[in-house]
A and B are shown apart, each in its own frame.
Chain A
Amino acid sequence: MLSQQAIISLLTKMGDDALIIGHRNSEWTGLGPIMEEDIAFSSMAQDKIGHAWALYRVMQEHLGGQDPDQFAFMRAEKEMRSCHFVELPIGEYDFSLMRHFLFDHAEAVRYESLENTAFEPLQPFAKKFKGEIKYHLLHADEWVLQLSRGSEESYARMQQALLHCMPLALGIFETSKAHEQTLIDEKIYPGEQALQARWLDRIYPVLSKAGLNLPGIESFTPVYGGREGYHTAYLQPLLDEMSSVFKLDPTATW
């Protein structure tokens, strides 16, 4: 019998990350630097929000979880388990692009590791999401390379964005104090430290091809807290906005 609470904690943080980054990426719809990028961010936003929906449904169907709409739109901020990285506003395109690059490589290693998870209901979703994220990575890698090679300004912006994003990106791999060892022992997933190491192996070659300079990760202080319910000041306004229509009447169908 697998430990349900541990699995719930894992799926909740994964779903919350997907929901919040999807929400943020959707904010580019109509505002992209070129139309093609506008479309790309909208498209990726749909995939991410779809991932969140699917993960919440898995919890509902297999782990006694709530209705996904209620879970996403009615939860209090302190009950959210998103990392700080996804909560930050879209900022300028350099930040959004670098976040997309770092976050999606993390997603890729996570879902690869879950393809054979001991929690079987998750397996088909891990395979499906991995297939979608492949395209997100093609997009991210290509754009990081293009902009790093484009001009003085675009190179400087990408380098700065990388340094700005790294501590936040390391926060993706914050471990769950209560459940991490259980999840590893029960072969649900390999654990955040293992994922972080695989992630670094993935991003280094792209960054070096782009000529971007990534200092040793020990020089960064990871931004933790999200997985324990401590969030940035940006999350509550995001949740208020997201639920503003839904909360007019949470019992109505919309």
Chain B
Amino acid sequence: MYGGGYIFDEPNKRPMQDTIDDPVKLAEFEQRIADGHKIEPGDWMPNDYRKQLIRMIEQHAHSEIIGALPEGTWITRAPGFKRKLALIAKVQDEIGHGQLLYNAAQTLGKSREAMINDLLSGKSKYSNVFNYPAETWADVTVIGFLIDAAAIVNQVANAKGSYGPYCRALERICYEESFHLKQGHDAFIELATGTPMQRQMVQDALNRWWQPIMHFFGPPDKTSVHSEKLMKWKVKMASNDDMRNQFLDAYVPKIWELGLTLPDENLKKDEATGKWLFSDPDWDLFMKVINGGGPCNAERLQVRKWAEESGRWIRKALMNPNAARSFPVA
């Protein structure tokens, strides 16, 4: 998974500041991007470019390791060998994506430790969708199918961005995600075509997850604060509304063809424009959840804090590989 299309603001809502960059270098930089070249770690880049990329890649990395938690809790309950193995492999991949992305962000000058600290302190955000619980096995199939699908829409777009290390990480991530999507879709279909109880499970899960999925790509373009500059610099590659529309176009028919319903009576495609119409999701709720008011925000961070705190002695020992110790040899 899991990067949503939305780059969260810093908590203090500081607007993006235009620091003064050397105009000649800036022009060269923008020309290189316009010509389709990638920017590499040693290259000159505007401060805002660096800051925005760090923020975006860091949020994406956090989303991977936090995103492992709602599904991870179902590894021990996955029904049958096939699902159990697929789920462990999938969640393991997500942690691996986190590792790749932290490495990519580090090339911009922020250490993994600093990023993790900012996650734990609440300074740095992660995809909002993981602040909701996975209540049943069917939720795991909905996440594996639809949230992964949504993330792929965003990540395929971002893989064409301008920053080399991020693009290369995303290419590999997208390749693995396409397998996740297949396993999620397979498990989802198994329930949708299964017993009446299984069908009900998956319908209930869809109803629970529909709003978070609609939130996934972020607020509509007309209210989104992020600027043309990010598009010009190829930091952000597609607008929230475009990505949401692309997702609906690809996946709503797949849900409907299984005879399942979605909890929005206004959801339909306007054949004239090719755009999907839908009820406006509750954006106040979205902001409330981002700011800590979701059902699982506290729990997610608590688990990460547990992992960090109980692993501290190990990291400390690793930092000190050449410590002169005398061993009691019996």
Contacts and interface: CB of A to CB of B under 8 A. Distances in A.
B80 A69 contact: yes
A36 interface: yes
Contact of B88 (A36, A45, A214): A45
A87 to B, nearest CB: 14
A238 B75 CA distance: 12
A249 B195 CA distance: 9
25 contacts: A26-B84, A29-B72, A29-B88, A29-B95, A30-B68, A30-B69, A30-B72, A30-B95, A32-B95, A32-B307, A35-B95, A38-B95, A39-B92, A42-B88, A43-B92, A49-B81, A53-B85, A154-B313, A154-B317, A155-B325, A208-B329, A211-B328, A213-B330, A249-B195, A252-B198
Nearest to A93: B314
Nearest to B78: A245
A27 B84 CA distance: 12
A200 interface: no
A51 to B, nearest CB: 11
Interface string A70-84: 001100000000000
Interface of B: 65, 68-69, 72, 75-81, 83-85, 88-89, 91-92, 95-96, 98-99, 102, 137, 187, 190-191, 194-195, 197-198, 303, 306-307, 310-318, 320-321, 323, 325, 327-330
A39 B96 contact: yes
Given A29-B68, A29-B92, A253-B194, A153 B328 contact: no
Interface range on chain A (Cβ under 8 Å from partner): 35 or more
B70 to A, nearest CB: 10
B96 A27 contact: no
Contact of B65 (A30, A153, A238): A30
Contacts of A26: 75-76, 84, 88
Nearest to A27: B76
A43 B88 CA distance: 8
A41 to B, nearest CB: 9
A127 interface: no
Contacts of A157: 313
A240 B303 CA distance: 23
A242 B328 contact: no
